[in-house]
Every structure is written in C-alpha cells, then in structure tokens.
Amino acid sequence: MNLIVDAGNTYVKVAVFQKDNMLFYESFKKEVFQKKIEKILQEYVKIDRMITSSVTTLSSDTQQFLQNLRIEVHTLTHQTKVPFQNTYATPKTLGVDRIALVVAAVTKYPKQNVLVIDAGTCITYDFKTDKEVYLGGGISPGIQLRYKTLNLLTANLPLLEPKMPENYIGNSTENAIHSGVSIGVITEIDGIIDRYKEQFEHLTVILTGGDTNFLAKRLKNTIFANSKFLLEGLNNVLEYIRYND
C-alpha cells in the first residue's frame, strides 16, 4: 500500500493507493503535516512505501520526521527511475511535478502521443511521444496569477475572482479583465493544443490541476479531465520503483 505526498507552497495533498486504486485523499496546510501523516499511518497500517514530491524544499524538521518513519520513503527527483526517455535539455531544472505527470501519461496512455496540461499556479504543458520520449513543453502564468499580477503591477486595476464574461468584448474594466484573463487562457490552451495536433497525429490531451473544472467544459478541443492525475503519476512512479529496484 502506498502513501503519496504532493507538497505545495501552502497546501499538502496526500493520497493512499492500493495498487492503482485510490482509497483516501485529503488536502491540508503544511503546518499540520506531521500530525496528518501520523494519523494516516495509524489508520492504514498496511502502508509500506511513501513518495514525496515538493515544489519547495521541505523543512529540516519535516525531513527528519520522514527519515524516522517505519516505512520506506522515496523523494522524487530528476534522478529517480522513470519509464520514459527524458530529452529535456536541463533535466535538473525539470519540476518533479512535471516528471510525475509524464509518468502518469506513460502508464495510462502507453504508445500514444500525449499532451498533459496542468492548470494551477502556472499552466504547464508536457508532451511525450508514442515512443515514450519526453520532449518538453511550456510554462505560462495560471489564471489566479494573471489576476494577481494585473492588480499588483498596476496602479488602478482591481483584484478579481476568476469569472467567465458573457461577452469577449469587455464593456467595463472588470469585464475587460475577465475577458483578457479567462478568455485569454482558454484561447491560449486551445491554440497550443492545435499547434501540437498539427505536428503529432492522434494526440491525447489530459487536463489536470486546480483549475480543471473551470476550464474543462469551455475548451473547444476534446480533452480528458482528471484533477488527480499528478497523484496518480506519483503512485505510478512508486510502483515503477517497486518493480525496478
């Protein structure tokens, strides 16, 4: 049984898997990390392996806590064994979250051209070929980041919550911001999908991340929406390590 930990800047997402079946999921603030992990291990005593993925460095206290656990703990890095060929020019700088997403794509869609779009703080695009070769992708600001940037870096623009305007022609400052951000993101994503389709036949597109629900039904391209794709990818990494050590 596997314990999966995805640690972000503020929140930690955890899941318990029995092979490919997710038995438990929870999201909580980093301040209660140790308490939550201890409780999960008490409730799921058959957990024998754990993998952590973090966009930031875990504190020394947290690292020491992990080292003292009764289970085998792995930390996902660019050196972790993965079931794809990585041709990224700077593999050391490739985010571990992106590595996990590609592993999920390889595991769930083998021998297919797959574009994974993770719509969170940033929008990342990651592409693997039907030969299981990772080529790279793109990074752009996410929806919330675009709204916040307009507010922080200008004198008069307000901070708004994401909203889809009724018309792409904004007839007020607020509507113009919503048009520029929300419709802009959708147009960007659809445009990038179209670019990949021009070059790669039979493209499978996966949409994941915190803004999945906001975007999924508004894209013109056919996509598979899966907000837990990253956690599934981390579990796939751990299973791959289990059988390839």
Q: What are phi and psi of 82, to 5 degrees?
A: -135, 155
Q: What number does CATH give the domain 2-75? A: 3.30.420.40
- Please tell me whether 20 is known to bind a ligand: no
The label of the residue with tokens 């147009």 reads: 187
- Please tell me whether 109 is known to bind a ligand: no
- Please tell me whether 21 is known to bind a ligand: no
> Measured at the alpha carbon of residue 62, what is the angle toward residues 57 and 63, in degrees to the nearest 5?
70
- Please tell me whether 134 is known to bind a ligand: no
- Put simply, whether the predicted model's pTM sits higher than 0.85 gets the answer yes
What is the spatial distance between Cα 13 and Cα 230, in angstroms, rounded to a whole number?
A: 10
Residues 6+ apart with CB under 8 A from 12: 5, 6, 27, 28, 29, 30, 33, 36
Q: What is the pLDDT of residue 225?
A: 96
Q: What are phi and psi of 49, to 5 degrees?
A: -140, 150
- The residue extents of the domains of the chain are 2-75, 85-234
Q: What is the maximal distance between C-alpha atoms in the chain?
A: 60
Of 20, 97, 190, 194, the active-site residue reads: 97
Q: What is the pLDDT of residue 11?
A: 86
The strand ranges marked E within the chain are 2-7, 11-18, 21-29, 49-54, 72-75, 85-86, 113-119, 122-128, 133-141, 203-208, 224-225
- Please tell me whether 88 is known to bind a ligand: yes
Asked if the domains 2-75 and 85-234 are classified in one and the same CATH topology, the answer is yes
Query: What's the pLDDT tens digit per position in 55-100?
Result: 777 788 888 999 899 999 999 999 999 999 999 999 999 999 999 9
- Please tell me whether 10 is known to bind a ligand: yes
Q: In the chain, which residues have pLDDT < 50?
A: none
Q: What is the pLDDT of residue 9?
A: 72
Q: Is residue 245 among the annotated active site residues?
A: no
Q: What is the pLDDT of residue 113?
A: 98
Of the CA atoms within 13 Å of residue 16, those in its CB half-sphere come to 16
Cα dist. 72→50, 112, 135, 198, 242 in Å?
6, 33, 31, 44, 11
The label of the residue with tokens 């700088």 reads: 93
- Please tell me whether 6 is known to bind a ligand: yes
Q: What number does CATH give the domain 85-234? A: 3.30.420.40
